[in-house]
């Protein structure tokens, strides 16, 4: 059975996620920005936290962990490559590793780019991938440590997942990402429709995360660098996709 996934707004624009298995009672937290909202959600649901999955070392994804572990003695899982700058790990994982939550497999992807050592967690039985600051709703993370080639390779892995996969990303940046996306593909009908939906959602103070991978493939410029229409709009027809991605990322950085 799929895990029940709960989206928790944290800080000013972060998201954490809980994935709960009713049969076993096991519950995983993906990223730990601050304890208050996460502990409140666990209490409201009556869930016991058994696992914490950390995507990368940035403070807004890990600083809430001590306060959470005071209340729940959970197993902390994170990247082996990033263990030197993550909180202490009970299980250090690398790309290709699999572990279970509630008996359901969780696959580990290296999605370096935003940071080197950033990982994503894919739960195929729940059709969900937890991408934090790699693939985001209508965007991708800024390249603080990695290269455009690394990030393009990471995004390409995620783009190859089944299109019905739910992309559970780490921030509410979608409205600003949408404004930028329109500068790349102003005539994309799927994007135009999505921008309208985002505007309505944010006007009602509703989250735009998570999103379906199929929607990202149709509208997210960072996943579309290989497409002739995107390359043509940038004056880069026939260029290597990683180079086109780098151009898009550079434009976003200056936007």
Q: Is 110 annotated as a binding residue?
A: no
Q: Is 72 annotated as a binding residue?
A: no
Which of 20, 21, 31, 56 is labelled catalytic? 56
Q: Is 61 annotated as a binding residue?
A: yes
Residue 97 annotated in active site: no
Q: Is 226 annotated as a binding residue?
A: no
Residue 171 annotated in active site: yes
- Between CA 68 and CA 82 the distance in angstroms is 21
- Between CA 106 and CA 19 the distance in angstroms is 11
Residue 61 annotated in active site: yes
Which of 21, 51, 57, 60 is labelled catalytic? 60
CA distances from 11 to 34, 35, 60, 149, 172 (A): 7, 10, 8, 31, 11
Paired with 104 in beta bridges are 101
Q: Is 149 annotated as a binding residue?
A: no
Which of 51, 58, 72, 118 is labelled catalytic? 58
Residue 58 annotated in active site: yes
Residue 114 annotated in active site: yes
Q: Which residues are annotated as a binding site for Zn(2+)?
A: 56, 58, 60-61, 114, 133, 171
Active site residues: 56, 58, 60-61, 114, 133, 171
Q: Which residues are annotated as a binding site?
A: 56, 58, 60-61, 114, 133, 171
């Amino acid at each position: 059975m799929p895990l029940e996934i709960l989206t928790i707004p944290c800080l000013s624009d972060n998201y954490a996620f809980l994935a709960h298995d009713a049969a076993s009672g096991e519950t995983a937290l993906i990223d730990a920005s601050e304890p208050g909202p996460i502990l409140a959600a666990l209490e409201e649901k009556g869930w016991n936290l058994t696992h914490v999955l950390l995507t990368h070392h940035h403070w807004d994804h890990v600083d809430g962990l001590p306060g959470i572990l005071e209340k729940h003695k959970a197993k902390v899982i994170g990247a082996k490559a990033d263990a030197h700058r993550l909180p202490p790990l009970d299980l250090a994982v690398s790309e290709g590793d699999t572990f279970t939550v509630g008996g359901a497999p969780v696959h580990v992807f290296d999605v370096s780019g935003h940071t080197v050592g950033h990982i994503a967690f894919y739960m195929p039985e729940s059709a969900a991938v937890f991408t934090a600051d790699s693939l985001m709703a209508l965007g991708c993370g800024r390249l603080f440590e990695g290269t455009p080639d690394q990030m393009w390779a990471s995004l390409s892995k995620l783009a190859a997942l089944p299109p019905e996969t739910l992309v559970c990303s780490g921030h509410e940046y979608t409205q600003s990402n949408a404004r930028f996306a329109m500068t790349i593909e102003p005539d994309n009908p799927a994007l135009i429709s999505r921008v309208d939906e985002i505007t309505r959602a944010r006007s009602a103070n509703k989250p735009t995360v998570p999103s379906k991978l199929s929607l990202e493939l149709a509208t997210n410029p960072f996943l579309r660098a290989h497409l002739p229409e995107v390359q043509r709009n940038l004056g880069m027809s026939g260029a290597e996709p990683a180079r086109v991605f780098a151009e898009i990322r550079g434009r976003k950085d200056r936007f």
